[in-house]
Structure 1
Amino acid sequence: MEYVQERIATLHDFDGATPSAPADRSAVVVPMMARDRASLAAERVFSTLEAVDPKRVIVALRADPDRVAAVAQWLSSFDLPLETLWCSAPAVASALTEAGLDGSDGKGRDVWLALGVAAERAEYVVVHDADAENYAPTHVPRLLFPLAQGYDFTKAYYARVENDRLYGRLFRLFYVPLVRALAESHDASILEYFGAFRYALAGEFAATSELVRELRPPRGWGLEVGTLGDAFQSAGFDNSAQVDLGVHEHDHRAVGGPEGLGNMAREVAAALFRALEANGVTPDYASLPDRYRTAAQTAVEQYATDAAFNGLTYDRANERTQVDEYARSIEPPGEDDRLPAWARTSLDPAQIATLATESLAEHRT
């Protein structure tokens, strides 16, 4: 346990804190895929939210037409003011195309759709995943508490330790060493901001509805970093906070494969570089992979010592192999796939909600 303050306000869990928070003025956004239906983790998340009693729960659901009815039926079994936003509904896709926003789907796209609706429903918005195996009724209040104290943006942090091993691999082996390598060559406030968050890739955050309307997330796995880039512009150091959610457990991904950590690293890197370039930082992409490897190898040795100190299993060779894989993700960001801020688009979130509801009703009959 410690009580160190970072460059942004850092709220610690000293003894199971459950602060008073405005859940009754808040919408909780939960991105979800059809495969999450009735999983033990998702069951725990929604059952726990019943006790939290937020003003609204909006499930950003990606599901094929032949599965959406079953998922919606399962969600309706919870005693919650719950709205199922079918993000992959054909009518929603058509509306996006008409607005010039057609393109690939992904977590970022789904969350963006739900954020637009949530900002119309409540004063504050909380976002978290449906796969947290240790989800607790303290999570939403802790994320909301700083907002009630005048902050505009809150990010979660936690330890990723399970089965006598350290997880959170993409964050500790890729994101942190990459940001450190960049900071050695660039004296920029945005890099200090990116480095101040104890778990920058956490999927849990909260914000005022005003800030939510300013977010421009990428469509896929760069959501968390893209959100931080926008929060830097809208909230900055003084109006951002991070809160301790303890030890976090959820599903783990392989490094390889289309949905593996290697591909996620590419999207995370693209979102990071895009935010940096927008703030006047142009990395030397030719030399950066080697500088990243140097920083990452230092991190591997530090984590090896930390693991040994705690009696944990640690595979140096495997961690170094991951570093080499992630280094291949370091390249210029390419085409900008960010979605527009809801505050500056002609698309109406109420229309999206109506289309999703009507499409869902058609598939439930």
Structure 2
Amino acid sequence: MADFHQNGVVATLHNLRERSLERMERELASFSQSRPITLILPSLYSELEQPALEHIVSELSEVPYISEIVIGLDQADRDQFLHAKEYFSRLPQKHVILWNDGPRLREIDRQLEDESLAPDQPGKGRNVWFCMGYVLGARTAGVVALHDCDIVTYKREMLARLVYPVANARFPYVFSKGYYPRVADNSLNGRVTRLLVTPLLLSLEKVVGHHPYIDYLKAFRYPLAGEFAMRAHVLSDLRIPSDWGLEIGVLSEVYRHYSSNAICQVDIADTYDHKHQPLSPEDAAKGLSRMSVDITKALFRKLATDGVVFSQDTFRTLKATYFRTALDLVETYYNDALMNGLSTDRHREEQAVELFAANLIDAGNVYLESPNATPFMPSWSRVNSALPDVLDAIQQAVRADAEEA
């Protein structure tokens, strides 16, 4: 059974195992009458060929309170898009597919590029950003949730617990973040959170001093969770990264716009497993290597906007502090795993720490050498101001794609 510990920064809503899923779903169905609930699913076409998404769609088919499912489809040609339409047709809820590689949405992307408003690289962040634009243009959602399409252990209770805090009008929350233990196949997982983000935040606190943003991120039990939900009005002002920094970027934007009293984290699963990325030490453009650089850059840039000054000396000190802190945590995680009958490979854990330490310097160099970079995609409020018809254009493109035979 979960504990009831609160960190005092953001509310933690535990799963104390006293409420049935059926009761929660009945309440959500009632809440959805005044706050319609939309789910965003960012997906690569390749995920349609995996059992994880097959199971997710099966579970979602049983959810009674979703008003609309918005599927962002990446890396799909025309035949694959048509197959995706057939694949998702089993969903009983209203659903749409954004064919991001189709000619209509590509044309909108070109119009955005002409105004220097287009995302500068493909990826999950760009996919989510266009889905957010669609949801804002539809003007029907009261609550918007998002989760990944590669969750092997998916249960529809995850979604119910994720959206409940922002769908319930009696609660003050505008944003909820899911958390869970990363345990699967008798192994302790979640390397990037455990071995990068946690020791990096502790090290930043030592090197740059106490900072409320660091306290805020430390309060989240799983800051890299891809499952979050929010009131629909939150979407319009979010500026999010297009790369692997998406989850940290969303947390940063919510921190910038809202009081911590309006933010919560919620226990959504006893176990969680998804597609594992390779460490990829030989290629910094792939796997956990790229992920670590993108996440670290996002942290540096956010702290810089709050007045923290970074230099080469700062990054060298930070690397040394991080390395020692992370190695100490490797020992702690090993003991925790051992006590619970789980395994961790200490050699591989330390290899990951060594890679993340080197990438910390690389991320710092990118930050210092690109002072004019605009790492975040523009908010939809700004885009709509520059191109007042763009949200309607996205709606029309998606409808026209849906009519493709």
TM-score (norm 2): 0.85
Alpha carbons 1:56, 1:121 under 8 Å: kept: no
For 1:178-327, list aligned pairs within 5 A: 178-185=200-207, 186-246=209-269, 247-256=271-280, 257=283, 258-283=285-310, 284-327=314-357
Shift of 1:70: 1.0
Distance 1:200 1:314 in 2: 21
Matches of residues 86-125 of structure 1 in structure 2 within 5 Å? 86-99=99-112, 100-102=116-118, 103-119=120-136, 120-125=139-144
Amino acid at match of 2:260: F
The AA in structure 2 aligned to 1:308 is: L
Displacement of 1:337: 2.5
Query: Cα 1:273–1:343, aligned 2, differ >3 Å: closer, same or farther?
Result: same
Give, as a single letter, the amino acid of the residue that structure 1 aligns with 2:334: A
The alignment's C-alpha RMSD in Å is: 1.7
Query: Identity across aligned pairs (percent)?
Result: 29
| Bigger mean CA offset, 321-330 vs 353-362 | 353-362
Correspondence 1:50 to 2:32: no
Per-residue Cα deviation, 1:286-342 (whole angstroms, up to 9, x for no partner): 321111111111110110110111122221111011001111222333422211111
Q: Does 2:170 match 1:168?
A: no
AA aligned to 2:91 is F
State how 1:25-174 maps to structure 2 within 5 Å: 25-53=36-64, 54-65=66-77, 66-99=79-112, 100-102=116-118, 103-119=120-136, 120-147=139-166, 148=168, 149-174=171-196
- For 1:296 and 1:129, how far apart are their aligned partners in 2? 28
1:281: Cα distance to partner?
2.4
Are residues 115 and 193 of structure 1, via their aligned partners in 2, closer, same or farther at CA, if it must alter by over 3 Å?
A: same
Q: List gaps (5 residues or longer) in structure 2.
A: none
Report Cα offsets for 1:84-119 as digits up to 9, x if no partner.
Answer: 111222332232232223421110000011112223
Is the contact made by 1:262 and 1:329 (CA closer than 8 Å) also made in structure 2?
Answer: yes
Question: 2:43 touches 2:71 (CA, 8 Å); kept in 1?
Answer: yes
Query: Secondary structure of 1:337's match?
Result: coil
Q: Is the 8 A contact 1:31 1:61 kept in 2?
A: yes
Q: Higher helix share goes to which structure?
A: 2
Deviations 1:13-63 (CA, angstroms, capped at 9, x unpaired): 111644333345111001001011152211221222222230110001113
Equivalent residue of 1:329, what SS?
Answer: helix
Partner of 2:15: 13
Number of aligned residue pairs: give it. 363
Q: CA deviation at 1:211?
A: 1.1
CA distance in 1 between partners of 2:402 and 2:325 (Å): 49
- Structure whose CA Rg is larger: 2
Unaligned runs of 5+ in 1: none
Residue type at the aligned position of 1:88: D
Post-superposition offset of 1:236? 3.1
Tell me whether 317-326 or 7-16 shows the greater mean CA deviation.
7-16
1:187 Cα deviation (Å)? 1.5
Whether the 8 Å CA contact 1:87–1:356 is kept in 2: the answer is no
Q: Give, in whole Å, the separation in 1 of the partners of 2:351 and 2:398.
A: 43
Query: Structure 1 residues 131, 267: CA separation in 2 closer, same or farther (over 3 Å shift)?
Result: same
* Secondary structure at 2:145 match in 1: strand
For residue 360 of structure 1, report the CA deviation from its aligned partner.
5.3
Tell me, in whole angstroms, the C-alpha distance in 2 between the residues paired with 1:16 and 1:158.
18
The secondary structure found in structure 2 opposite 1:92 is helix
Shift of 1:190: 0.8
Letter in 2 for 1:230: E
Contact 1:89 1:356 in 2 (8 A): no
- How far, CA to CA, are the matches of 1:213 and 1:243 in structure 2? 23
Q: Does the 8 A contact of 1:253 with 1:260 survive in 2?
A: yes
Note if contact 2:39-2:145 (Cα within 8 Å) is conserved in structure 1. Answer: yes
